[in-house]
Amino acid sequence: MYDRKTVRRRRAVLGLLVACSLILLTAYFGEGAGGGLHAVQRGVAEVVSPIESVATGALKPFRDLFGWVGDTFHAKKENKDLKAENRRLIAQNIALQDEAADGKALRKLFDLDQNVLGYDPKALVTARVLVHSPTIWYSTININRGSGAGVRMHDPVVDGDGLVGLVTSVWGNGAQVTLLTDRNSNVTAKIAGTSGRNLITGIVSTGTPGDPRDLLLTFLQPNVPIEEGDRIETSGIASDRFTSYFPPGIPIGRVSKVDRSELATSQEVHMRLFASLRNLDYVQVITKPQS
């Protein structure tokens, strides 16, 4: 039950305490440093100080523990944020490297078109390589342009370094290219700079088993004047053995080894391609005029 007398007593006591506090504060700030109230304060401080010191020492491990826990959670969050930022920067760097590589490959294709082949840009279809053959001979690739872009069977295919292969299968939005390293691939070729009575021709075919980089220029005349480093390009001439699907002058590679006894008996020399068939990203298909 609400007791008015009790409330009045409590209010009176509260008022008395407030008044005493004001009187003590006024006296404390009004007296000098050697006054009685200051002396009482110093005495209380001397009594309480050891207790505070003990309490501080006892609580320090707990404060340190809570501080360590807080720092640990903060460090973990910071580490997580740094890892996320690192992953983002790595992905960004990879994307930039891919863009730079793509730009370089496309520039090489443009340079080959303009400075070597001189083809009408309308006859060239640029395509991206989608699938590489898993075999050791790297015999085929699939590209993302097909009959819908004007690609047809037996169209030659190049990259920025030279001849790559021949279109051997076509569908609406893609095609398969048989590479020069395939066992069934044959290209009529010549030594660049030779012509007329001095023309040196042969057939580019696979060479050392298990080494797709080592090709042969075969069906040469015995004792033909051919040297290491000679450039090899498409001849554009059909032979009595093979049909030529390739226009003349497309760079193929260089003679890498000439063994005179091998040349005399087997009528062949070793060669290396200009194009790196294991690292194809972009190629161009040289389309033929519609008949």
Say whether both 174 and 191 belong to one domain: no
CB count in 10 Å sphere of residue 118: 9
Last residue of some domain: 141, 163, 179? 179
Least confident of 5-14, 177-186, 191-200: 5-14
| Averaged confidence pLDDT in the chain | 76
Residues 191 and 215 reside in one and the same domain: yes
Same domain as 241, residue 171: no
Q: What is the CATH number of the domain that holds 159?
A: 2.40.10.340
Q: What are 166's strand-pairing partners?
A: 156, 178
Q: Does the pTM exceed 0.85?
A: no
Torsion of CA 131, 211, 235, 190, to 10 degrees: 160
Using 50, 70 and 90 to split pLDDT, how confident is the model at 1?
Answer: low
Task: Answer yes or no: do 125 and 191 share one domain.
Answer: no
Number of domains in the chain: 3
In tens, the pLDDT along 24-62 reads: 666 656 666 666 655 655 565 565 456 555 555 555 665
Judge whether 267 and 219 are in contact, CB under 8 Å.
yes
DSSP letter (8 states) at residue 197:
G
Structure tokens at 154: 């037996």
Q: Are residues 252 and 205 in the same domain?
A: yes
Q: How buried is residue 216: exposed, middle or buried, by Cβ count under 10 Å (0-12/13-18/19+)?
A: buried
In a domain, 9, yes or no: yes
Plot region of 123 (φ>0 → left; ψ -120 to 50 → alpha; else → beta): alpha
Q: Of 223, 215, 201, 221, whose CA–CA distance to 256 is shortest?
A: 215
User: Are 200 and 270 within one domain?
Assistant: yes
The Cα–Cα gap between 179 and 183 comes to 9
Same domain assignment for residues 201 and 251: yes
Which amino acid type is present at position 267?
Q
Residue 229 within any structural domain of the chain = yes
Q: What mean pLDDT do residues 9-14 have?
A: 77
Final residue of a structural domain among 158, 179, 200: 179
Give yes or no: residues 169 and 215 share one domain.
no
Residue 262 sits in a domain whose CATH number is 2.40.10.350
**What pLDDT is stored for residue 167 in this prediction?**
94
Neighbours of 272 (CB within 10 A): 15
On whether both 209 and 261 belong to a single domain, the answer is yes
In a domain, 74, yes or no: no
Compute the C-alpha angle 247/249/253, nearest 5°.
115
Q: How many residues does the chain have?
A: 291
**Confidence at 255, pLDDT banded by 50, 70, 90:** very high
Enclosing domain of residue 147: 119-179
Q: Is residue 110 part of a domain?
A: no
Asked if residues 224 and 200 have their Cβ atoms less than 8 Å apart, the reply is yes
**Domain end call among 49, 65, 81:** 65
Helix extents (H) in the chain: 4-30, 36-111, 260-266
In a domain, 101, yes or no: no
In a domain, 102, yes or no: no
The token pair at 247 is 């226009």
> pLDDT (tens digit, 9 = 90+) per residue, 67-126?
666 677 677 777 777 777 677 666 666 555 555 556 566 566 666 555 555 566 677 888
In degrees rounded to 5, what are phi and psi of residue 157?
Answer: -130, 135
Name the pLDDT band for 291 (thresholds 50, 70, 90): very low
Judge whether 51 lies within some domain. Answer: yes
